[in-house]
Amino acid sequence: PTLEKWVTDLPKPGIVEPVGSKDDRPYYELEMQEFDQEMHPDLPATTVWGYEGQFPGPTIEAEKGEPIYVRWENKLPDEHLLPVDTTIHSGMVPYDIPGVRAVTHLHGGNIEHESDGKAQGWYTRDFAETGPTFEKKDYFYVNDQPASALWYHDHSVGITRLNVYAGLAGLYILRSDEERELGLPSGEYEIPLVLQDRSFNDDGSLFYPTTVADAPDDESFPDPSIISEFYGDTSVVNGKAWPRLSVSPRTYRFRILNGSNCRFYNLDLREYDESSETVGDTGPSFVQIGNDGGLLSEPAELDDRLELGPGKRGDVVVDFSEWEGETLLLHNDAPAMYRAEFSSEDDDVVSLPEILLVDVSDSAAEENTSPIPSNLADVPEISLDTVDNIRYLPLLMQRDEYGRNLHKLGNEEHMSGLALDDPVTEDPRLGDTEIWSIVNQTGMSHPIHLHLVHFQVLGRQSAGDYDPAEDDVDLDSLEDPEPYELGWNDVVTVHPSEVVHVAVHFGEYEGLFNDQTGTYMWHCHMVEHEDYDMMRPFVVRPPED
Ligand code: C2O
Ligand code: CU
C-alpha cells in the first residue's frame, strides 16, 4: 500500500510502572503479547507483538543506584506470526516444541549473566519449555552504570530477527541525579525516537519475506528461508508510520534508537517544503550529548550527519529557536546496503530517506533555551598502560550448503570463522583491559555489539595497514572516531576492508560499571546476520587467584 506521509501524530512510548516489590526492590512484570495496533489511519490495524499491548514496548524508567527486578512474561500465541526457517541452528533449537520461544535481553545493561537474556535462555509461554541456558524467571538489573538510554528486545536463538520485527522491543531509560543537575531539556521536551523500518501488506499485516529474492527452483531449498538482510519500505517511529511531530521554538533532547533489523540511519534535519515535497538546506544541527552508554564528557556539535547502525543510540539536543514556523524533515541518506562495496541486484532493497516531519510552532518560547553545560560527565579514558590482550576478530561472509549467505565471526586462530556453538575463544579475566581489533572482510558495513561492557573506540584504519602479528596497535596512525563514537559505546560500525580498534575493560572501571563474570554474547546487530550466524559467546573469567 502507498501510505500518505505525515498524517499521524508521533506518540511517545508509554511508561511502565512496577507491579509490586521483590526483596524490597521494585518488581516489574511485562507481558509479551500479540495484539492489533493502528500504525497509520489508512491502513487496517496491524497484528504485532509487543510488551503490555504496546509496540514499541513501554519504557522502563530506572534510577541509577536503584536495582529492579523484571519478569518478562511470555504470553505469545502458539504459532509464530512470521515464517520460521527451521534450518537455522537446527542442531540446538527444538523447532517441534509447542509455542513460541522468546527471551528478553537488556541491551547495554551491565548486568549479571543469569539475567542477561541469553540466546539459548529462551522460554515458551508460561515457562512451559526452557532453553539450555535458562536460569531464572525474574531478572535482576543492578542499574549501577552511567545514566543512558538502554533498550530491551528479544534475543531467542534462530528467530531473533522475527521476534524483533514482530515488535518485541522497547526502551529502558536509566536516569541519575548527576544528569538531572545538568538541566537538560526534560519532560515534554525530551522525546524518545524509536526508529524502525517495516513493510505492510494491503490488509495491514506486517510483510516479511518468506524466502530469498533469488530462491532457486529446487525442492531441497529451505522454505521458508532466512533472508540475508531485511529493509522495510516504510518509516515507523514510535510505532506509527510516517508520523509528524510538533515542537516549540526552543531546545529539545532526543533519545534516538535505531531499532531496525538491518537498516542504517545517517541523519540530519533539513528544511522541507511540504506542498512540493522538496527537501531543502540543512536545518538545525544535532548537538551530540551522549552515546550508547552515557553522556559524553562535553557536547559535540555535529557538522555532519549522525550515523546510527542497528542497535545504536544517539542522545542529541536540537535548538529549534531560530526555526519558528518552519517545517523540517528528519532525513536519512544511508543507502540500504550501507557502504557496500558491491551493487545489489536486488531491486527490493530500498533506501528510506524520509523518517519524520517536524513542525516548529510560531509561538515565541518564553521558557528555556538554557544552554547545554559545557561539562556533561566524567568519562575517564580507558588506560592502555597495561593491555592484557589484543584480539584480531574477522567479520566474514560465506555460503551455506544451499548457497545462501552465511555471515560469521572468527578470531586470529580461526580466520575462517567459528559457529555459535563452537567452544568459547574470547575469555578475558575480570579486571583485564583488552583491545578488540575487528576487521571487516565482507563487502558491507556491520554494527558490532558486545553485551555487558561499554567500550571506547580508539580509531579505524584500512585493514591492509594493520598487521595483527605486531605487538601493538599504532594509535597515532588511526583515523579518529567520529563524534558519535566518543564516550561509552556498545555498538560500533565496521565498514568494509577496515579494522576498528576498541578498548574494552572487563569489570568495574573508576567507579563506573560493576564486576560481572560469566558468559555473554557479542554479535552483529543486523539481526538477520545475528541469527545466521554472526554471534559468538565470550566469557569473563574470575580474576586469577
Ligand atoms: Cu541488542 Cu545481543 O543485543
Ligand atoms: Cu552484519
Rounded to the nearest angstrom, the distance between the alpha carbon of 447 and the centre of ligand 2 is 6
Rounded to the nearest angstrom, the distance between the alpha carbon of 381 and the centre of ligand 2 is 28
- Which atom of ligand 1 lies nearest, measured to the CA of 521? 2
- Which atom of ligand 1 lies nearest, measured to the CA of 491? 1
Query: What's the CATH fold of domain 389-540?
Result: Immunoglobulin-like (2.60.40)
User: 442 is written with which cell numbers?
Assistant: 565482507
Give me the long-range contacts of 287-290 (CB less than 8 A, separation at least 24).
287/316, 287/317, 287/318, 287/319, 287/372, 288/314, 288/315, 288/316, 288/483, 288/484, 288/486, 289/184, 289/253, 289/315, 289/316, 289/317, 289/372, 289/376, 290/148, 290/149, 290/314, 290/315, 290/376, 290/487
Which parts of the chain have pLDDT scores under 50?
none
Q: Sketch the domain layout of the chain as residue ranges.
A: 8-176, 187-360, 389-540
Q: Residue 351, Cβ neighbours under 10 Å: how many?
A: 15
The DSSP 8-state label assigned to residue 465 in this structure reads G
Is the CB of 523 inside a 6 Å radius of any atom of ligand 1? Answer: yes
User: 11 is written with which cell numbers?
Assistant: 506518540
Cβ atoms 328, 296 nearer than 8 A:
no
- Which atom of ligand 1 lies nearest, measured to the CA of 153? 1
* CATH number listed for the domain at residues 8-176: 2.60.40.420
Rounded to the nearest angstrom, the distance between the alpha carbon of 525 and the centre of ligand 1 is 6
Closest ligand to residue 444's CA: 2
Cβ atoms 486, 291 nearer than 8 A:
yes
The DSSP 8-state label assigned to residue 530 in this structure reads H
Rounded to the nearest angstrom, the distance between the alpha carbon of 35 and the centre of ligand 2 is 30
- At residue 125, φ and ψ (nearest 5 deg) are -45, 130
Rounded to the nearest angstrom, the distance between the alpha carbon of 280 and the centre of ligand 1 is 36
Residue in this structure with the C-alpha cell 526452557, named with its chain if needed: 130
Cβ atoms 216, 37 nearer than 8 A:
no
- Which atom of ligand 1 lies nearest, measured to the CA of 107? 1
- At residue 495, φ and ψ (nearest 5 deg) are -85, 160
- Which atom of ligand 1 lies nearest, measured to the CA of 108? 1
User: 81 is written with which cell numbers?
Assistant: 506470526
Is the CB of 121 inside a 6 Å radius of any atom of ligand 1? Answer: no
Closest ligand to residue 406's CA: 2
Rounded to the nearest angstrom, the distance between the alpha carbon of 248 and the centre of ligand 1 is 35
The DSSP 8-state label assigned to residue 179 in this structure reads H
Residue 359: the pLDDT is 98
Which residues lie near ion ligand 2 (Cβ < 5 Å)? 446, 524, 526, 529
Is the CB of 529 inside a 6 Å radius of any atom of ligand 1? Answer: no
Closest ligand to residue 526's CA: 2
Q: Residue 518, Cβ neighbours under 10 Å: how many?
A: 17
Is the CB of 107 inside a 6 Å radius of any atom of ligand 1? Answer: yes
Is the CB of 161 inside a 6 Å radius of any atom of ligand 1? Answer: no
User: 385 is written with which cell numbers?
Assistant: 598502560
Residue 349: the pLDDT is 74
| CATH match of 187-360 with 2.60.40.420 | yes
Residue 364: the pLDDT is 66
Is the CB of 312 inside a 6 Å radius of any atom of ligand 1? Answer: no
Cβ atoms 45, 35 nearer than 8 A:
no
| pTM score over 0.95 | yes
Closest ligand to residue 106's CA: 1
Is the CB of 155 inside a 6 Å radius of any atom of ligand 1? Answer: yes
Residue 369: the pLDDT is 65
Q: Which residue minimizes the CA distance to atom 1 of ligand 1?
A: 107
ipTM above 0.90, yes or no: yes
* DSSP helix, strand, coil percent of the chain (3-state; round to 5): 5, 40, 55
What does the pLDDT look like over 96-118, one tens digit per residue?
Answer: 999 999 999 999 999 999 999 99
Rounded to the nearest angstrom, the distance between the alpha carbon of 338 and the centre of ligand 1 is 20
- Which atom of ligand 1 lies nearest, measured to the CA of 523? 2
The one-letter amino acid code at 288 reads Q
Distance of alpha carbon 487 from alpha carbon 377, whole angstroms: 10
Is the CB of 449 inside a 6 Å radius of any atom of ligand 1? Answer: yes
Rounded to the nearest angstrom, the distance between the alpha carbon of 3 and the centre of ligand 2 is 30
Distance of alpha carbon 423 from alpha carbon 538, whole angstroms: 10
Q: Residue 114, Cβ neighbours under 10 Å: how many?
A: 15
Distance of alpha carbon 451 from alpha carbon 432, whole angstroms: 16
Using a 10 angstrom Cβ sphere, with 0-12 exposed, 13-18 middle and 19 or more buried, the burial of residue 271 is middle
Distance of alpha carbon 395 from alpha carbon 392, whole angstroms: 10
Distance set, CA 446 to CA 17, 154, 338, 544 (Å):
35, 19, 9, 34
Instruction: Count Cα atoms within 13 angstroms, Cβ side, for 38.
Output: 9
- Which atom of ligand 1 lies nearest, measured to the CA of 530? 2
The DSSP 8-state label assigned to residue 486 in this structure reads S
Q: Which residue minimizes the CA distance to atom 3 of ligand 1?
A: 107
Rounded to the nearest angstrom, the distance between the alpha carbon of 235 and the centre of ligand 2 is 21
Please list, in sequence order, all residues whose beta carbon lies within 8 angstroms of the beta carbon of residue 135, skipping any fewer than 6 positions away: 114, 121
Same fold: 187-360 with 389-540: yes
- Which atom of ligand 1 lies nearest, measured to the CA of 311? 1
- Which atom of ligand 1 lies nearest, measured to the CA of 451? 2
